[in-house]
Structure 1
Amino acid sequence: MNNLANYIKWRGDLGFDISPLNEVDAIIFSELVYLDFSGYTEKTSLPLYKINNLYIKDKREQNFYNMAAKDIVKLLAQSGSSDRFKNIAVSDYAAYDCDDNPMQFGACTFKFDSDKIFVAFRGTDNTLTGWKEDCMIAVSDNIPSQLNAAAYLNMVANKYSDCEIYIGGHSKGGNLAIYAAVNAFAEIKDRIKAVYNNDGPGFSKEFIESAQYKEISDRINTFVPQSSFVGMLLEHDEDYIIVKSANHSFWQHDAFSWRVVGNHFIHLDEDTKSIRFAEKNMKELINGLTNEQKKQIIDSAFEIMAEGGKITFEDIRKAGIKNIPDMIKAFNKIDDNSKKALTDGITLLAKLSIKNGYEINKHESKSKSKETGIV
């Protein structure tokens, strides 16, 4: 089955003037923004092939905190040697991290045609800080990285004032792409042709019912794998397209596992059982908690996971059952209100999982009975 690498081999000899931007190109840009372009494109622009040469020369670290790190570095090499991508100018690289007020932000701009730019926002890495900020989307529509994304888009749109604008990102980057588009100045919003949200979390009901959101919603393209978890967080007003993945469970979040045919992903016609289960659980869990409870749960959960100096989920995985004493110790440290919020949240999720699992299985059984004529 074909993937991003196969797509570059197949479509790599055609420029964007002959074969316009498509959903697979958008995910390629959304993956390349995960790379460390520092020192290369903050104050100038460089074509992708030169950036690839510099990456090799400088022996840039390949094991940045991303589960697809090595694949993304290979993607840079493949893009940098293809006629379609190699001369695309990359500019305005920006990256900020802050642990105290959890925030991770990364972005860059690809000028892929004489009058077209793609603004790419970086998604979440494997660090606890990054995922804590993601979870804060459930508490506020104005987390630090979202505000940075809106400011970044307005800045590059003014810089490239004669260009059509395409925006996208993977994971949290997809959420940032939508947020930036919704909050763009009116004259910039008019130039936005498409927004690509690749398995990124949604927003609050109030956000997607706002007039600003409605102005851009018909240009939002959301893609989720058949067992999406991240993309099912919060509300989505736009229709989402389900894509086929070669992986299972949470690992389908890795866009390198998404199957490609021609110039698009393999689309699935119906919601999968796992998507319906995740969507119902996440929405009902978030709606069943107050903002204060959600904040207490997020703070407590990440404080417990970080006990013993753990920085990434990989650190937790490597520690295995050795985590248990550290987590018990950390749980005992948190205040009584936070303990109650955390245990109430876990209890509610367990109840929802049982209820929604039963309802979805019951609905599926009825549908099969009708199809076979068995009542």
Structure 2
Amino acid sequence: MRTIIKGSEGDKMENILNYVRLRKDISFQMSPFNVIDALILSDLAYVDWNNIVKDEKVDLQRACRQYFKIHTPEEIQRKYVFSNNVPNLAKEVSRSNRFKDISLMKYREDFDEEKNIQFSVVTFVLPDETLFISYRGTDGSITGWKENMQMTYMSHLPCQKMAAEYAEEIIDGIEEKSFWFGFVHKKVYPKIYLAGHSKGGNLAMYAALFGKGIQEHITSVFAFDAPGFRLDVWNSIKDRSILEKITNYKPKDSIIGCLLEHQETAKIVDATDFGLTQHDAFSWSIGPKDFNYVQSLTKQSEEALAYIDKILMSKEDVDKKTYIDLIFSVIDKFDVKQLSDFNDIGIRKGISGILELRQLSGEEIKFLFEVISFLRSQTSSLLKQAKK
């Protein structure tokens, strides 16, 4: 992993919501597309665009407004317990002139509990025809989190292969243009970005690394606190020049974004909150055109990663699978399908889940409950709203 440190321009802003509000009248012509805009479009991939965006282009601001028309506040509140600022971002974008000429197209979603697939992607078209392929990260489903953990012992997941196929489809689908009075036809490729937050960033990197015949057409890949890959995945890359186009942006307490092996460029971002809560990119410190960077990861991040390596990552693949299957069998005993379900766990469900733990050591039980505690913490915004 190659780490680059540089300062950002201007004074600090609180987060990307402030950015959208404060730059609402600054067009891309006045201030070109930047990494903060890339993070915003990556977070918008978490929005459920079903029944709003299909294959044809749809105006982004109209799509945002339509989303709030067809979903109740209660539905939205429960869906985005992992980051209750996602719908707030969609609202701000819907009234920002900076984003008024962006459209969406080719929305895809695939969810399969039995096959452990949680996949979604959408393509944004910028005013200058730049294509921005935005992969969704892990959402509020337990299936998505189990799929995340399968990356520790599986090299090529179905969702990753789907990510590569989608990028191939988008790039292959660019239409030819006519030149010399129609005698010459050829494709003129616009700027093409691949991006995503968390698992979405992993999917963007995988698509760039393994998509067939697309590497030369990709401008950049923005990964935001994205986990890496197993070493055999990195060793199987045929075109290593694509690595120069990939950057992984991580908060200073990063844990998720440091898991597995990394060979892409990394930049460390200053952030508020602590530990795993920094995985939510709304806590990241930004300036007018870039993040505010720090020199290195914190000691807390390094200690957490050492602990995870000791208790999980250093195990053999077969043991990782057994351990992870056990974690999610306990969660299944709790009858939890979505993060919001953690709020409904009763005594009977709790005892049923605890009975599964007899085969674990004390240290493994401690780690298991830390995993469950983290997942449950993602519902904190829901609990706060319920008390109001």
Tell me the TM-score normalized by structure 1.
0.84
1:256 aligns with 2:282: yes
One of 18, 21, 40 as aligned partner of 1:9: 21
Q: Give the secondary structure class of the aligned counterpart of 1:36.
A: coil
1:37 aligns with 2:49: yes
One of 89, 92, 96 as aligned partner of 2:106: 92
Shift of 1:19: 2.3
Equivalent position of 1:152 in the other structure: 166
Q: Which amino acid aligns with 1:87?
A: D
Q: Which amino acid aligns with 1:233?
A: L
Instruction: Show CA shifts across 1:266-286 (max 9, x none).
Output: 111122102222333344555
Query: CA, structure 1 residues 304+213, in 2 after alignment: closer, same or farther (shift >3 Å)?
Result: farther
Equivalent position of 1:171 in the other structure: 198
Shift of 1:76: 1.3
Gaps in structure 1 of 5+ consecutive residues? 333-338, 351-375
Query: CA, structure 1 residues 210+7, in 2 after alignment: closer, same or farther (shift >3 Å)?
Result: same
Equivalent position of 2:35 in the other structure: 23
Asked if 1 retains the 8 angstrom alpha-carbon contact of 2:109 and 2:119, the reply is yes
Q: Give the secondary structure class of the aligned counterpart of 1:228.
A: coil
Shift of 1:204: 0.8
Kindly indicate which of the two structures has a greater share of residues assigned to helix.
1
Q: Distance in 1 between matches of 2:227 and 2:221?
A: 14
Query: Equivalent residues in 2 for 1:122-201 (5 A)?
Result: 122-160=136-174, 162-186=189-213, 188-201=214-227
Aligned residues: 341
Equivalent position of 2:269 in the other structure: 243
Q: Which amino acid aligns with 2:265?
A: D
Query: CA, structure 1 residues 69+167, in 2 after alignment: closer, same or farther (shift >3 Å)?
Result: same
1:77 aligns with 2:91: yes
Query: CA, structure 1 residues 278+240, in 2 after alignment: closer, same or farther (shift >3 Å)?
Result: farther
Q: Give the secondary structure class of the aligned counterpart of 1:260.
A: coil
Gaps in structure 2 of 5+ consecutive residues? 1-12, 176-188, 369-388
Q: Give the secondary structure class of the aligned counterpart of 1:96.
A: strand
Q: Distance in 2 between matches of 1:255 and 1:213?
A: 30
One of 121, 137, 148 as aligned partner of 1:107: 121
Tell me the TM-score normalized by structure 2.
0.81
Query: Equivalent residues in 2 for 1:271-310 (5 A)?
Result: 271-283=297-309, 285-310=311-336
Asked if 2 retains the 8 angstrom alpha-carbon contact of 1:225 and 1:252, the reply is yes
Query: Which range moved further: 195-204 or 208-217?
Result: 208-217
Aligned residues: CA RMSD: 2.4
Q: Distance in 1 between matches of 2:339 and 2:308?
A: 21
Query: CA, structure 1 residues 6+271, in 2 after alignment: closer, same or farther (shift >3 Å)?
Result: same
Q: Give the secondary structure class of the aligned counterpart of 2:241.
A: helix
Query: CA, structure 1 residues 59+235, in 2 after alignment: closer, same or farther (shift >3 Å)?
Result: same
Query: CA, structure 1 residues 49+348, in 2 after alignment: closer, same or farther (shift >3 Å)?
Result: closer
Q: Distance in 1 between matches of 2:365 and 2:195?
A: 36
Report 1 or 2 for greater relative contact order, CA contacts < 8 Å, sequence distance ≥ 6.
Answer: 2
Q: Distance in 1 between matches of 2:305 and 2:221?
A: 22
Q: Distance in 2 between matches of 1:201 and 1:283?
A: 14
Query: CA, structure 1 residues 257+164, in 2 after alignment: closer, same or farther (shift >3 Å)?
Result: same
Q: Distance in 2 between matches of 1:345 and 1:157?
A: 48
Shift of 1:8: 1.3
Q: Which amino acid aligns with 1:169?
A: G
Equivalent position of 2:179 in the other structure: none
Q: Give the secondary structure class of the aligned counterpart of 1:261.
A: coil
Query: CA, structure 1 residues 32+348, in 2 after alignment: closer, same or farther (shift >3 Å)?
Result: closer
